Amino acid sequence: MDRMPRWADIVLIPLINLLLAFLISGLVILAIGEDPIEALKLMVDGALGSTYGWGFTLYYATNFIFTGLAVAVAFHASLFNIGGEGQAALGGLGVALVCLMVPWPHWTIALIAATVGAGLFGALWAAIPAYLQAKRGSHIVITTIMFNFIAASLLNYVLVNMLRPAGSMDPATAKFPEATHLPTLTDFLEIFGIPFAARTPANITLIIALLACVAVYFLIWRTRLGYQIRALGKSEPAAIYAGISPVWIIMITMMISGALAGLMAINNVMGEAERLVLNSVEGAGFIGIAVALMGRSHPFGVLIAALLFGFLYQGGAELALWTSIPRDLVVVIQALVILFTGALDGMVRTPVERMFLALRRRKPQPTRGPAE
């Protein structure tokens, strides 16, 4: 068993990656004449120090859970869906149409309908690149990224020419009716008597996000479809040998992936903005890639990574607000985290692996298999 223990793979390596990213970020902060310790304190305090901070952190994390799961599901079929941005934008359109077109009697029914709308629009938007990949062999990375641009232009057109209320100069839809407004996390936690700061964007979509994590876990590791997705992802010739249709699996996987990305719109469009504005996704689709990479494509890992990125987003905003550290530096910190956890993963992995092997060789071999 020439491998390192699973805990090292799942916990230790991401942790080292993260520390390295923070270390270099600290050096950059030092270089522009600020105190990195002070900056870190401010970030932690701003993002996690109060329920108000948590409200924002959890709101961002909810977005990232959806986009992270979207990328993770596609990864299992060896598909790199970097179109989360566009799929989430289309999901927003689905939510807006559902909320504006039908006079919903209660938010619960509206939520169910909006979930279907968001998922469906996201799935259909992903279905086109999926078809091109499955049938024509057009690379999914190229097509999904192009579809991000098409989605942006499409939303621009729809918002300006079709959904903009008459007389408004703002390229956005009208405010959704009162009956579609989702309860905030504050309302939800009140039921259990837990006090939580008001006026934060966190809402009950967080619950849906957590349910989505559980659902994805079961899909990937417990269902026949998940089995086929993983088989295709590991080896296409083997999948064909086993009678699994690559065309069908690519289509269905990408549509599930697109639907998950689309679901993000329940959080930001229905739960927070309560109307559809231009560029509502704000890069969350791309953060999802980092979240999936860092979370090793496992729903639980995605959840943890999404919380981390939620913290970075909220803490970074605080940093820009209270210090002379420019907002751009926050982007640098986020980029470093992405760089170390995603692209430079091997830089840490190889030495750590060697270290474990060296340690193991000194001790007598335990006679059990890998703990997988």
Partner 1 sequence: MSDTTEGRPDGAAPAIELKGISKAFGAVQANKDISIRVMPGTIHGIIGENGAGKSTLMSILYGFYKADAGEVFIAGRKTDIPDSQAAIAAGIGMVFQHFKLVENFTVLENIILGAEDGARLGPSLSKARKELTQLAAEYELNVDPDALIENIGVGMQQRVEILKALYRRADILILDEPTGVLTPAEADHLFRILEGLKREGKTIILITHKLREIMDITDTVSVMRRGEMTATVKTSETSPAELAELMVGRKVLLRVDKKPATPGANVLEVEDLRVVDDKGVERVKGVSLVVKAGEILGVAGVAGNGQSELLEVLGGVQTGTGTIRVNGQEIDLTGSQSDARTRRARGIAHVPEDRQRAGLIMDFKAWENVAFGYHDDPAYQSGLLMNNAAIREDTEGKIERFDVRPANANLPAKSFSGGNQQKLVLAREIERNPDLLLIGQPTRGVDIGAIEFIHQRIVELRDEGKAILLVSVELDEIMSLSDRIAVIFDGQIMGERLPSETDEKELGLLMAGITDTTHDHSVEEIEANLARAHGEVH
Residue ranges binding partner 1 (CB under 8 A): 1-2, 218, 222-224, 227-228, 230-231, 234-235, 237-238, 240-245, 357, 360-361, 365, 369-370, 372
Q: Which amino acid is at 94?
A: G
Show Cβ contacts of residue 290 under 8 Å, excluding neighbours closer than 6 positions: 305, 309, 337, 338, 341, 342
Residue 174 to residues 57, 60, 246, Cα–Cα distance (Å): 27, 24, 43
Q: Give 181 or 230: the residue with its C-beta nearer to partner 1.
A: 230
**Bridge partners of 72?**
none
Q: Which amino acid is at 160?
A: V
**Bridge partners of 307?**
none
Q: Give 175 or 360: the residue with its C-beta nearer to partner 1.
A: 360
Q: Give 175 or 230: the residue with its C-beta nearer to partner 1.
A: 230
Q: Give 199 or 363: the residue with its C-beta nearer to partner 1.
A: 363
Q: Give 31 or 371: the residue with its C-beta nearer to partner 1.
A: 371
What whole-number distance in Å separates Cα of residue 18 and Cα of residue 289?
16
Supply the minimum distance, in Å, between the C-beta of residue 226 and partner 1.
Answer: 8
Supply the minimum distance, in Å, between the C-beta of residue 346 and partner 1.
Answer: 17
Q: Give 326 or 370: the residue with its C-beta nearer to partner 1.
A: 370
Nearest to 328, CA basis, from 320, 338, 318, 336? 320
Supply the minimum distance, in Å, between the C-beta of residue 247 and partner 1.
Answer: 11
Supply the minimum distance, in Å, between the C-beta of residue 342 and partner 1.
Answer: 21
Q: Give 225 or 332: the residue with its C-beta nearer to partner 1.
A: 225
3-state secondary structure of 282: coil
Q: Which amino acid is at 176?
A: F
Supply the minimum distance, in Å, between the C-beta of residue 250 and partner 1.
Answer: 15
Residue 351 to residues 16, 209, 341, Cα–Cα distance (Å): 12, 36, 15
The token pair that represents 186 in the structure block = 């504050």
Q: Give 245 or 323: the residue with its C-beta nearer to partner 1.
A: 245
Q: Which amino acid is at 215?
A: A
Supply the minimum distance, in Å, between the C-beta of residue 234 and partner 1.
Answer: 5
Show Cβ contacts of residue 340 under 8 Å, excluding neighbours closer than 6 positions: 17, 18, 20, 21, 348
Q: Is the dihedral of CA 231, 234, 239, 244 positive or negative?
A: positive
Cα torsion 211, 213, 217, 219 to 10°: value is 70
Q: Give 82 or 220: the residue with its C-beta nearer to partner 1.
A: 220
What whole-number distance in Å separates Cα of residue 366 and Cα of residue 361?
11
DSSP secondary structure string for all residues of 20-33: HHHHHHHHHHHHTT
Supply the minimum distance, in Å, between the C-beta of residue 2 and partner 1.
Answer: 3
Supply the minimum distance, in Å, between the C-beta of residue 354 and partner 1.
Answer: 9
Beta-carbon count within 10 A of 29 CB = 22
Supply the minimum distance, in Å, between the C-beta of residue 222 and partner 1.
Answer: 5
